[in-house]
Amino acid sequence: MSVFKYEKDAEGIVTVTMDMTGPVNSMNDEYDVAMGETVAKLEAEEGLTGVVLASAKKVFFAGGNIKDLLTIEKGQEGLMMEKLSKVKSQLRRLEKLPVPVVAAINGAALGGGFEICLACNHRIAYNHKTVQIGLPEVSLGLLPGGGGIVRMVNLLGLQTALPFLVEGKKLTPEMALAAGMIHETVGSIEELVPRAKAYILEMKGNDSAAVQPWDVKGFKIPGGKACDSQNTQVLPVIPAMLFKQTRGLLPAPAEILDCAAQAATVGFDAAMLIESRGLAYLVTTPEAKNMITTFFFGLNKINAGSSRPEGQAKNLTKKVGILGAGMMGQGIAYVSAMAGIDVVLKDISQESADKGKAYTQKLLDKRVAKGRMTEEKRDQVLALIKPTTDNEDLRGCDLIIEAVFENVELKQNMTKDLEPYLAENGVWGSNTSTLPITTLAEGSSKPENFIGIHFFSPVDKMPLVEIICGEKTSDEALAKAFDFTQQIRKTPIVVNDSMGFFTSRTFGTYLDEGARLIHEGLHPVKIDNIGKAVGMPVGPLTITDETSQQLQHKASATWKAMGLDLGDRGQIMEIINLMVEEHGRGGRHHGGGYYDWNESGKTVWPVILEKYYKPEVAIANQEVKDRLLFRQVIESIKCFEEGVLRTVVDGNIGSVMGIGAPLWTGGFLQFVNTYGLQRFSDRCDELEASYGERFKAPAIVASMLAKGETFV
């Protein structure tokens, strides 16, 4: 029995309901057979008046088989071309049927799923927030290879189609309707197939309803061909704009642009072949393999709860107490209230607490102004936040998160004083970026209910939360923190205790190497530019200014007081002490740092140039790139080797979402897989010989090489 259910009604309309083996419909071998058989049957059908393509799954169609794509290696492009040719041939036959073909989109239709829809004459979607429409392949280092680029360009025109292709936008049905990507929406799933059939009956006798626009004689692409004046004025500028966004590190956007321009130049069938060649090339690149591994398989694994302890019942937060209404506390309050959680925002003064709530008001007002939220909804969210100075308001919180200064004594005393207000079996979370959780938990009477919940700034925008387990943290507390993180729509990674944990510890090596390069005589602007050229969001010196030298100075003093080994940080501390102690420069918002900051931008602080810059010093750009990248990769491997990182997936997702690891790497651990472990080890040896032991490859690399293993 076919996994495509085939039903013909009295009106001659065939409804094909896709219901493939497994939780979703996808373009695998089973699909190839089912679609091939279905198209052949439709072509032979007598008395056919129309076709409705529907789905029995919650997701209309999940797209291509990503797992299979990972297996395609260089030299196997021909195999990929054969697969794409088969998929495209079947969809081309579907859209050339002599009757209207209607897609009844009941759930997400992304990637290959929407490419199937594009091969239909008419597209109707259930108008619901769970339905997403688009071609997001670029986010995995790929391009739409089932005809998506060619059909989108022919449907919308080159300039209109490009943002959807290059940016991989996922649209709601209303947005897709406004963009011209679908034709209708309905208010309920129950209306979908009946409305699709009604459309077919309305079009009876209208032969044009069964012909795709690009198959009509004399068809012209909206906006003209690539060589038409309105496009020739814009096309030369787009590559530069793309390069500014990707820095030339992501091949997919450039390949998509080329295929789209070709689709607006050559004939339909020729453009289809060019598109296939583009995907066959991209699927073999290390960038695509890295991005697929992390942003598809890895992220899905984390979202499914792979890092959550087994056997623990779901434990959603009903009332959260937040201690400290500063930058971090007010952000946590905002995301919590947006998730419908009652929030007690406590500070030492009512003015500070009110100011913390005002931050949420400001963000919500912006949403209202942009039409993304009603005033009524804004007021409902605001009503969930209670700014206060009264400890008693914390009573009954099932979760309390302190977000105060990085001071061990302050945090421990606060825990002792306020922990009794927790509800029975409530959990205490510390939003610390560096301080060991086991040490902080010494202030708790129930260390098993004490856990680290490390947010990133700004909280409303940063997608990651790093959950840190102390020596005595229980599975119940971990499950609570994990569930809360997902409840506020953030991505959780789980790590074990360590100074700096994973993200801060690894990120610190980037800042440290930037300072070392300053000390060696390189120009600050060059160092920052090369950091960005690697793919980091910001150069190491600029981000040091942004996060503040003052914070690093205080953190180092705290670590020393705790008797912790700071390692070889002499050069960076020399520079930070110069700025903070001698010149009162604690960072961008504290008198400046490496740079003098003003409204128009930044300029290098002259003292840094006078003291350190040596024009005669020349270090090759690639050498600087490798130093800035390898320091972070090596530290990530050490974290995995030492058990700070519990899984490779947590390391990859954490490094991208929390540290800003270049997208093309797929995360610092995944980078080593496609770079090659032996090649990585050899390069570490070279860097160690030139610059010191900090570049020594961790022992686990040699062990994995001997066993033929990779970071999985």
pLDDT level of residue 11 (50, 70, 90 thresholds): very high
The residues near 520 (Cβ < 8 Å, ≥ 6 apart) are 614, 617, 619
Judged against a pLDDT cut of 60, whether residue 106 lies above it is answered with yes
Confidence at residue 572, expressed as pLDDT on a 0 to 100 scale = 80
CA distances from 538 to 238, 527, 528 (A): 23, 11, 7
Indicate whether 491 and 507 sit together in one domain.
Answer: no
Query: How much of the chain exceeds pLDDT 70, in percent?
Result: 98
Query: How much of the chain exceeds pLDDT 90, in percent?
Result: 93
How does DSSP classify residue 447? Answer: G
Q: What is the mean pLDDT of residues 82-104?
A: 98
The residues near 329 (Cβ < 8 Å, ≥ 6 apart) are 322, 323, 345, 347, 356, 403, 431
Measured distance CA(257)–CA(239) in Å, rounded: 8
Rg (CA), the chain: 28
pLDDT level of residue 614 (50, 70, 90 thresholds): very high
Indicate whether 31 and 102 sit together in one domain.
Answer: yes
In-domain check, residue 308: no
Confidence at residue 23, expressed as pLDDT on a 0 to 100 scale = 93
Indicate whether 515 and 456 sit together in one domain.
Answer: no
In-domain check, residue 297: no
Tokens 């929030």 locate to 343
Confidence at residue 1, expressed as pLDDT on a 0 to 100 scale = 55
Indicate whether 372 and 448 sit together in one domain.
Answer: yes
Measured distance CA(380)–CA(528) in Å, rounded: 44
Burial 193-207 (b: 16+ CB within 10 A, else e): bebbbebbeebeeee
In-domain check, residue 307: no
Confidence at residue 553, expressed as pLDDT on a 0 to 100 scale = 73
Q: Are strands 133-134 and 122-126 parallel, antiparallel or unpaired?
A: unpaired
Q: What is the mean pLDDT of residues 137-163?
A: 98
Indicate whether 449 and 541 sit together in one domain.
Answer: no
**Domain extent at residue 636:** 621-707
Domain boundary among 474, 496, 518: 496
Q: Measured in whole angstroms, how far is the alpha carbon of residue 397 from the centre of its chain? A: 31
Indicate whether 450 and 589 sit together in one domain.
Answer: no
Sign of CA dihedral 53, 54, 57, 59: positive
Indicate whether 178 and 145 sit together in one domain.
Answer: yes
In-domain check, residue 291: no
Indicate whether 603 and 648 sit together in one domain.
Answer: no
State in Å, rounded, how far the first CA of the chain is from the last one: 38
Token pair for residue 647? 């899984």
Token pair for residue 692? 């010191």
Token pair for residue 60? 């209309």
Indicate whether 132 and 242 sit together in one domain.
Answer: yes
Indicate whether 414 and 348 sit together in one domain.
Answer: yes
pLDDT tens digits along 132-146 = 999 999 999 999 999
Domain boundary among 569, 587, 612: 612
Confidence at residue 294, expressed as pLDDT on a 0 to 100 scale = 98
Judged against a pLDDT cut of 80, whether residue 221 lies above it is answered with yes
Confidence at residue 340, expressed as pLDDT on a 0 to 100 scale = 98
In-domain check, residue 163: yes
In-domain check, residue 290: no
DSSP-H helix ranges across 264-401: 268-282, 286-292, 299-303, 327-338, 350-369, 375-382
CATH number of the domain enclosing 631: 1.10.1040.50
Judged against a pLDDT cut of 90, whether residue 451 lies above it is answered with yes
Judged against a pLDDT cut of 60, whether residue 61 lies above it is answered with yes
pLDDT tens digits along 401-418 = 999 988 999 999 999 999
Confidence at residue 549, expressed as pLDDT on a 0 to 100 scale = 82
Judged against a pLDDT cut of 70, whether residue 56 lies above it is answered with yes
In-domain check, residue 173: yes
Q: What is the mean pLDDT of residues 698-707?
A: 98
Domain boundary among 565, 586, 612: 612
Indicate whether 364 and 345 sit together in one domain.
Answer: yes
Confidence at residue 564, expressed as pLDDT on a 0 to 100 scale = 55
Q: What is the mean pLDDT of residues 31-53?
A: 97
Measured distance CA(124)–CA(658) in Å, rounded: 39
- Among 250-264, 315-329, 445-459, 575-589, the minimum mean pLDDT is found in 575-589
* Mean pLDDT of the chain, nearest integer: 95
The residues near 231 (Cβ < 8 Å, ≥ 6 apart) are 158, 159, 223, 224, 225, 264
The count of structural domains within the chain is: 4
Confidence at residue 215, expressed as pLDDT on a 0 to 100 scale = 97
Q: Are 427 and 473 in contact (CB under 8 A)?
A: no
In-domain check, residue 301: no
CATH number of the domain enclosing 225: 3.90.226.10
Confidence at residue 563, expressed as pLDDT on a 0 to 100 scale = 61
Indicate whether 542 and 567 sit together in one domain.
Answer: yes
